[in-house]
Amino acid sequence: MLALDIKNLSKRYEHFHLQDVSFQLEQGYIMGFIGANGAGKTTTIKSILNLTRIDSGEIHILGKNMAEHEVELKQEIGSAFGDINFYTRSKISSLTNVIKTFYRNWDDATYHRYMKKFNLIEDKKIAELSTGMKVKYNLALALSHGAKLLILDEPTSGLDPVARDHLLDIFQELVGSGEISILFSTHITSDLEKCADYITYLHNGRIINSAEKEEFIDTYRLLNGRKEQLEQIKDRLISYKTNSFGFTGLIYTTDLDPALHLTSTVPNLEEIMIYCSKKEDTYV
């Protein structure tokens, strides 16, 4: 079953257009949602959660249309936006007592189990939580009401490498059962190299690519060559940079021509993002 099925989502702000965004996430997997600042990741996430009004498109979550089953589906979705900046003077326990009343499947035993697992102390005030603790608290809340889809906006930003690694391990453990699915946006592509099953790449409000991670990466090759070779291949490159030795450019794997005898390597996600956005910028 699809945990998330987004079809032709469009949303226009005065200076920004989220355009015809479509992608799917299979249940039981982790999808990394990448894109430069202002690409439209948060707008997409808010649209999925119906926190902003969309102009057109359809969103299905766990097989149901979000527009028709929002109240019911919100029981099955856990979301987190980087920080919880309200109720800062409340204790965790007081906030939990309010939040749990919204969820019919709330399970106190599960909540206490996750609070213990995440080393969170109920007596602490929200203001006293570190960024990592806030993310974990959000996760504990989501998991305690039996969320099947977690939608997290930059959950790992602001965390130190050890805390990030720990959180990514938790993500992998959660999807391990095959029931829970995670969509999370991030700028830290190395996190995705570690734990994502699928990658969706948004740029200037449009999807550039959405695929299983290995397939996503395999779509591209990084080419290195001498300056004189650049002229032969320039038109086929997505974009390139010149340096004192020659050039480095990104190309679709299908556009590779072995006859040109250029060195090609498999790029990482960061390189793909840098060269793809360089191409797009030339069209702006």
Ligand X SMILES: Nc1ncnc2c1ncn2[C@@H]1O[C@H](COP(=O)(O)OP(=O)(O)OP(=O)(O)O)[C@@H](O)[C@H]1O
Task: Judge contact between 139 and 81, C-beta under 8 A.
Answer: no
Q: CA 270, CA 187: separation in Å to the nearest integer?
A: 9
The single-letter DSSP state of residue 145 is T
The site string for ligand X over 13-42 (x = CB under 6 A, - otherwise) reads xxxx------------------x-xxxxxx
What's the alpha-carbon Rg for the chain, to the nearest Å? 21
Q: 41 or 221, CB closer to ligand X?
A: 41
Can you spell out the DSSP letters for 72-130? Answer: HHHTTEEEEES---SSTTSBHHHHHHHHGGG-TT--HHHHHHHHHHTT--TTSBGGG--
- With the C-alpha atoms ordered 32, 36, 42, 48, is the resulting torsion angle positive or negative? negative
Q: How far is the CB of 15 from ligand X (least distance, A)?
A: 6
Looking at the Cβ atoms of 124 and 187, the one nearer to ligand X is 187
Question: Please, which residue, 107 or 270, has the CB nearer to ligand X?
Answer: 270
Q: How far is the CB of 189 from ligand X (least distance, A)?
A: 13
Nearer to ligand X, 40 or 225 (CB): 40
Distance, CA of 270 to CA of 34 (rounded, Å): 10
Amino acid type, 199: I
Nearer to ligand X, 96 or 186 (CB): 186
Looking at the DSSP bridge assignments, the partners of residue 60 are 5, 65
Q: Give the CB-side neighbour count of residue 67, counting CA atoms within 13 A.
A: 12
Minimum separation from the CB atom of position 25 to ligand X (A): 18
The distance of closest approach from Cβ of residue 24 to ligand X in the complex, given in angstroms and rounded to an integer, is 20
The strand pairing partners of 243, in sequence order, are 246
**Smallest distance, ligand X to C-beta of residue 13, A:** 3
User: Which range touches ligand X (CB under 6 A), out of 10-18, 110-118, 228-236, 271-279?
Assistant: 10-18
Q: Which is nearer to ligand X, 15 or 261 (CB)?
A: 15
Candidate residues 43, 156, 204, 209; the one interacting with ligand X per rule CB under 6 A: 43
Instruction: Judge whether 156 and 164 are in contact, CB under 8 Å.
Output: yes
Could you tell me how many residues of this chain bind ligand X (CB under 6 A)?
Answer: 12
Listed ranges 12-20, 70-78, 121-129, 174-182: which one lies at the site for ligand X (CB under 6 A): 12-20
Phi and psi dihedrals of 246, rounded to 5? 160, -115
Least distance (Å) from ligand X to the CB of residue 12?
Answer: 9
Q: Which is closer to ligand X, CB of 18 or CB of 233?
A: 18
CB of 32 to ligand X, least distance (A): 13
Closer to ligand X by Cβ: residue 149 or 202:
202
Could you tell me which residues are beta bridge partners of residue 239? 250
Angle between the N-to-C axes of helices 161-175 and 131-144, in degrees from 0 to 180, rounded to the nearest 10: 10
Q: Please report whether residue 102 would count as binding ligand X according to CB under 6 A.
A: no
Min. distance of Cβ 40 from ligand X in angstroms?
4
The binding site for ligand X (CB under 6 A) comprises 13-16, 35, 37-43
